[in-house]
């Protein structure tokens, strides 16, 4: 892995995770020396290499930001945050396709063809898919198009990448870990109590 | 075991050499597809191999002797054992058999040699089992350290851990039949075997059981943690979903400042990089150029069109600029260089490269990046020398040292630059004067 490629990703404000940038991620993770080398390169520019989300992703952080830089960081966060409603809807929809209603996690594979079959077989998932079709712009479209639109929308949010275009297989990136941490923050700070029992009852009931 | 030696050294070595020299023939004879026929078998080595039972020489072919086939079978089994989980029951039976044989031989006055041979077998079996257990431990450690670490997906991690958990449990169960009591049942009061097993096997089994126990606990803890993580994520997602539906949570009502985002460990980026790339050959350092130019672009004064003011060694920025922000550390490097060269004595002027080498910048920034930084701050078009500022009879000019990459390639390769203060009343420095290495830096 060429160091300049990693530096370029960081300078472009990209998250480096084992799914989207496996080589770069491995290069940084496998050796403390490598991590330090990149950190040293970035230091003169006031940029810090940070490991986030329990080590799921690496990114650069402007450690001496100007006012406009500060705004850019906040904006980046708020762009995701302001879209959190649609993101929650889409992720819940995909969770309902899983027999255990499991939320997506980094590294999950999403096969478009299998999701279409699941939508045809699983009424709950199909109903959720219809509900998110307003977000994905696939209202009143057949299941296959709704699934495709959903995956494409997630791709635009960098939550998934298309890892095999021929077979339409998507993989969930480290962005999901970042989003999950936002979820945690919201849950811990906006809700007085975290009613686990009630949630267990709600899962899969087509709220 | 020296009692058993009946062959001379010479005979053993002759056999060994014959096997080595005829290794190709032995392989051909071993391969089921091939038939080694057309060969002159009259040489002495063939005779040695035939007399030792390694080969049989037939009318039209050579085949392996049954005793040599047995040796190859043993080699094959050993190879198989090194690649599969040790079948402890099988090993135990083999050891038991060898102990019985050795014990039987020890009861006979004539069979001392056979007893030693069987004791050697017990030692080899114990040794091999010990090695197999060691390999199994290494395998499990490999799965934990490599497979698990290289799997980003927690669901896949859980599958690996659950399978590992089963494997470890099964191994612990198997080695339970090799406990101290079980081993005692094998050798009873036959102390020779007891000593061998104690020396070659007991410690390995104790260590194996201990390590497996540790790994088992670890896998149980990890599986539990992964389950909890997944459950928590599920619950949070569904709770947020419910809150959204019930309008208990409206995302746009929430405002977070940068320090809040930083405090929750979710701040990243904020690096403003311009997309403009310049026609300068930088090979792998281009990221640095992009970075610096980007940072400069982002901190460029809003008073577009204003010139950089340089007076008497001081870089004076316009008042409104100062109010906005101080120059970045990178820009200060350049300003110091410009200040250093703000002299009428050309001999005291450094080129960019000379300054970079002598001012300690080589440790903090790539040369090409620094050069690009100077060019950018001085407002160069990356092609021509240009006057940066004029005042009275003075002017400040940036000279570029450049060459075309090749006759056919139109990439301009800027190798160095020099910031010089000149006077309208005197002639400009010649090429030779400009690029003669500075005596201070030489």
Condensed to tens digits (0 to 9), the pLDDT of residues A60-106 reads 988 877 787 887 787 777 777 777 889 999 999 999 999 888 999 99
Return the higher-pLDDT residue of A123 and B137. Answer: A123
- My answer on whether A57 and A100 are in the same domain is no
Structure-token pair, residue A29: 């993770």
Return the higher-pLDDT residue of A97 and B132. Answer: A97
- My answer on whether A85 and A167 are in the same domain is yes
Pairing of strands A109-111, A57-62: unpaired
- My answer on whether A56 and A116 are in the same domain is no
Q: Flag if B243 and A81 touch (Cβ within 8 Å).
A: no
- My answer on whether A60 and A86 are in the same domain is no
Domain-embedded: residue A75: no
Average pLDDT over residues A175-189: 88
Spatial contact of B209 and B223, defined as CB atoms under 8 Å apart: no
Instruction: Say how far apart CA B272 and CA B297 lie, in whole Å.
Output: 8
Final residue of a structural domain among A31, A64, A97: A64
Q: Where does residue B361 rank: exposed (0-12), middle (13-18), buried (19+ CB within 10 A)?
A: buried
pLDDT surpassing 90 at residue B122: no
- pLDDT value at residue A174: 93
- My answer on whether A86 and A182 are in the same domain is yes
Q: Flag if A70 and B258 touch (Cβ within 8 Å).
A: yes
Structure-token pair, residue B100: 């019985």
Domain-embedded: residue A72: no
Closest CA to B197 of B212, B211, B178: B178
Q: Flag if B271 and A196 touch (Cβ within 8 Å).
A: no
pLDDT surpassing 60 at residue B84: no
Long-range (24+ apart) CB contacts under 8 A made by B150-153 are B150/A26, B151/A107, B152/A17, B152/A18, B152/A19, B152/A56, B152/A106, B152/A107, B152/A174, B153/A105, B153/A106, B153/A107, B153/A108
- pLDDT value at residue A19: 92
Pairing of strands B314-316, B309-311: antiparallel
Q: What's the pLDDT tens digit per position in B169-185?
A: 888 888 888 888 888 88
User: Considering its fold, how many domains does chain A have in total?
Assistant: 2
Domain-embedded: residue A74: no
Structure-token pair, residue B172: 């612990």
Q: Nearest CB to A190: which of B249, B290, B299?
A: B249
| CA-based nearest distance B71→chain A, Å | 44
Average pLDDT over residues B27-38: 63
- My answer on whether A46 and A95 are in the same domain is no
CATH number of the domain that residue A25 is part of: 1.10.10
Q: Flag if B261 and A12 touch (Cβ within 8 Å).
A: no
Structure-token pair, residue B291: 């970075």
Residues 232-271 of B with CB under 8 A from A: 233-245, 248-249, 251-252, 254, 256-258, 261, 264-271
Would you place residue A207 in the very low, low, confident or very high pLDDT band (cuts 50, 70, 90)?
very low
Per DSSP, the residues of B200-246 read: IIIHHHHHHHHHHHHHHHHHHHHHHHHHHHHHHHHHHHHHHHHHHHT
Q: Flag if B269 and A85 touch (Cβ within 8 Å).
A: no
- My answer on whether A39 and A121 are in the same domain is no
Collapse the DSSP code of A167 into the 3-class scheme (helix H, G, I; strand E, B; otherwise coil) and give the result: coil
Q: Where does residue B404 rank: exposed (0-12), middle (13-18), buried (19+ CB within 10 A)?
A: exposed
Residues 352-371 of B with CB under 8 A from A: 364-365
Return the higher-pLDDT residue of B70 and A179. Answer: A179
Domain-embedded: residue A108: yes
Give the rounded percent of residues in chain B with a pLDDT score beyond 90. 7
- My answer on whether A103 and A153 are in the same domain is yes
Residue with tokens 């431990």: B137
- My answer on whether A96 and A186 are in the same domain is yes
Cβ neighbours of B375 (radius 10 Å): 22
Q: Flag if B273 and A11 touch (Cβ within 8 Å).
A: yes
Return the higher-pLDDT residue of B351 and B88. Answer: B351
- pLDDT value at residue A195: 54
Mean pLDDT is lowest, of A103-112, A113-122, A135-144, B318-327, for B318-327
- My answer on whether A50 and A87 are in the same domain is no
- Print burial letters for A157-186: b (CB count within 10 Å at least 16), e (below 16): bbbbbebeeeebbbbbbbbbbbbbbbbebb
B294 to A66, A162, B270, B299, B317: CA distances (angstroms): 13, 30, 12, 9, 20
Average pLDDT over residues B114-137: 84
DSSP for residue B283? G
Instruction: Say how far apart CA B325 and CA B258 lie, in whole Å.
Output: 19
Domain-embedded: residue A34: yes
- My answer on whether A87 and A150 are in the same domain is yes
Spatial contact of B339 and B314, defined as CB atoms under 8 Å apart: yes
Return the higher-pLDDT residue of B114 and B311. Answer: B114
- pLDDT value at residue B322: 39
Return the higher-pLDDT residue of B334 and B439. Answer: B334
Helices (H), chain A: 3-11, 22-30, 32-42, 67-82, 84-97, 112-121, 123-136, 143-156, 175-190, 196-202
pLDDT surpassing 70 at residue B304: no
Instruction: Say how far apart CA B276 and CA B267 lie, in whole Å.
Output: 26
Give the DSSP H or E segment for B309: strand B309-311
Per DSSP, the residues of A110-147 read: EEHHHHHHHHHH-HHHHHHHHHHHHHHT-TT--HHHHH
> What is the distance of C-alpha A180 from the center of its chain?
8
Tell me the pTM.
Answer: 0.55
Closest CA to B399 of B390, B388, B391: B388
Closest CA to B175 of B138, B211, B217, B121: B211
Average pLDDT over residues B11-30: 86
pLDDT surpassing 60 at residue A116: yes
- pLDDT value at residue A113: 94
pLDDT surpassing 70 at residue B311: no
Question: What's the half-sphere exposure (Cβ side, CA atoms, 13 Å) at B117?
Answer: 10
pLDDT surpassing 80 at residue B44: yes
Mean pLDDT is lowest, of A49-63, B68-82, B303-317, for B303-317
Give the DSSP H or E segment for B135: helix B112-142
Q: Flag if A50 and B285 touch (Cβ within 8 Å).
A: no
Domain-embedded: residue A184: yes
Q: What's the pLDDT tens digit per position in B379-424?
A: 887 778 888 888 888 889 999 887 765 554 555 677 889 999 988 8
Q: What's the pLDDT tens digit per position in B198-257?
A: 888 888 888 888 888 988 998 899 899 999 989 999 999 999 998 888 877 776 656 667
Cβ neighbours of B120 (radius 10 Å): 15
Q: What's the pLDDT tens digit per position in B248-269?
A: 777 665 666 777 777 777 788 7
Domain-embedded: residue A69: no
Contacts of A11 in chain B (CB under 8 A): 271, 273, 287, 290-291, 294
Q: Flag if B269 and A199 touch (Cβ within 8 Å).
A: no
Final residue of a structural domain among A35, A64, A93: A64
| CA-based nearest distance A141→chain B, Å | 23
Domain-embedded: residue A157: yes
| CA-based nearest distance A58→chain B, Å | 9
Collapse the DSSP code of B411 into the 3-class scheme (helix H, G, I; strand E, B; otherwise coil) and give the result: coil
- My answer on whether A55 and A85 are in the same domain is no
Spatial contact of B122 and B91, defined as CB atoms under 8 Å apart: no
Give the rounded percent of residues in chain A with a pLDDT score beyond 90. 47
Domain that holds residue A132: 81-202
Instruction: Say how far apart CA B127 and CA B204 lie, in whole Å.
Output: 9
């Amino acid at each position: 892995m060429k160091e300049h490629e990693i530096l370029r990703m960081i300078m472009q404000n990209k998250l480096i995770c084992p799914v989207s940038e496996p080589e770069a991620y491995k290069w940084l993770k496998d050796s403390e020396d490598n991590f330090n080398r990149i950190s040293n390169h970035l230091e003169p520019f006031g940029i810090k290499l940070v490991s986030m989300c329990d080590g799921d992703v690496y990114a650069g952080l402007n450690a001496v930001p100007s006012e406009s830089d500060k705004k850019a960081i906040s904006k980046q966060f708020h762009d995701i945050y302001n879209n959190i409603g649609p993101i929650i809807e889409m992720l819940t929809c995909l969770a309902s396709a899983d027999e255990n209603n499991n939320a997506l996690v980094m590294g999950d594979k999403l096969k478009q063809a299998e999701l279409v079959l699941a939508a045809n077989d699983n009424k709950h998932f199909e109903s959720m898919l219809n509900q998110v079709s307003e977000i994905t712009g696939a209202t009143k479209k057949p299941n296959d198009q709704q699934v495709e639109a959903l995956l494409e929308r997630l791709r635009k949010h960098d939550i998934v990448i298309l890892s095999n275009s021929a077979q339409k297989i998507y993989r969930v990136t480290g962005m999901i870990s970042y989003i999950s941490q936002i979820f945690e923050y919201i849950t811990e700070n906006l809700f007085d109590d975290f009613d686990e029992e009630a949630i267990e009852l709600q899962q899969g009931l087509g709220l | 075991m020296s009692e058993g030696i009946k062959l001379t050294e010479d005979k053993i070595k002759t056999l060994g050499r014959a096997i080595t020299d005829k290794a190709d023939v032995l392989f051909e004879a071993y391969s089921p597809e091939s038939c080694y026929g057309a060969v002159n078998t009259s040489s002495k080595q063939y005779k040695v191999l035939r007399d030792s039972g390694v080969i049989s020489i037939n009318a039209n072919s050579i085949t392996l002797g049954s005793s040599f086939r047995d040796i190859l079978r043993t080699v094959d089994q050993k190879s198989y054992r090194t690649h599969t989980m040790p079948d402890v029951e099988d090993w135990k039976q083999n050891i038991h058999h060898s102990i019985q044989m050795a014990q039987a031989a020890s009861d006979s006055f004539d069979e001392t040699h056979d007893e030693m041979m069987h004791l050697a077998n017990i030692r080899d079996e114990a040794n091999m089992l010990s090695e197999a257990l060691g390999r199994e431990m290494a395998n499990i450690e490999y799965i934990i350290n490599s497979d698990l670490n290289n799997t980003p997906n927690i669901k896949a991690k859980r599958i690996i851990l659950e399978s590992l958990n089963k494997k470890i449990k099964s191994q612990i169960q198997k080695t339970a039949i090799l406990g101290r009591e079980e081993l005692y049942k094998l050798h009873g009061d036959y102390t020779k075997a007891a000593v061998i097993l104690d020396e070659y096997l007991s410690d390995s089994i104790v260590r194996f059981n201990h390590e497996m126990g540790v790994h088992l606990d670890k896998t149980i803890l990890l599986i539990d943690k992964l389950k909890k993580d997944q459950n928590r994520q599920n619950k949070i997602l569904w709770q947020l979903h419910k809150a959204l539906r019930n309008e208990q949570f409206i995302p746009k009502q929430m405002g977070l400042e940068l320090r809040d985002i930083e405090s929750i460990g979710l701040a990243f980026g904020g690096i403003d990089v311009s997309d403009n790339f310049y026609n300068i050959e930088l090979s792998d350092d281009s990221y640095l150029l992009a970075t610096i130019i980007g940072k400069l672009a982002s901190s460029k004064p809003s008073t577009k069109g204003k010139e950089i003011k340089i007076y008497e060694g001081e870089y004076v920025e316009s008042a409104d600029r100062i109010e906005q922000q101080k120059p970045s550390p990178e820009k200060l490097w350049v300003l110091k260089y410009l200040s250093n060269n703000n002299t009428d004595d050309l001999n005291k002027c450094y080129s960019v490269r000379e300054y970079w080498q002598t001012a300690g910048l080589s440790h903090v920034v790539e040369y090409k990046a620094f050069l690009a930084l100077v060019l950018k701050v001085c407002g160069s078009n990356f092609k021509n020398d240009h006057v940066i500022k004029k005042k009275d009879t003075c002017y400040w000019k940036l000279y570029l040292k450049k060459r075309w990459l090749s006759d056919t390639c139109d990439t301009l390769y800027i190798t160095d630059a020099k910031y010089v203060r000149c006077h309208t009343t005197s002639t400009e420095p010649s090429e030779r004067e400009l690029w003669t290495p500075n005596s201070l830096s030489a």
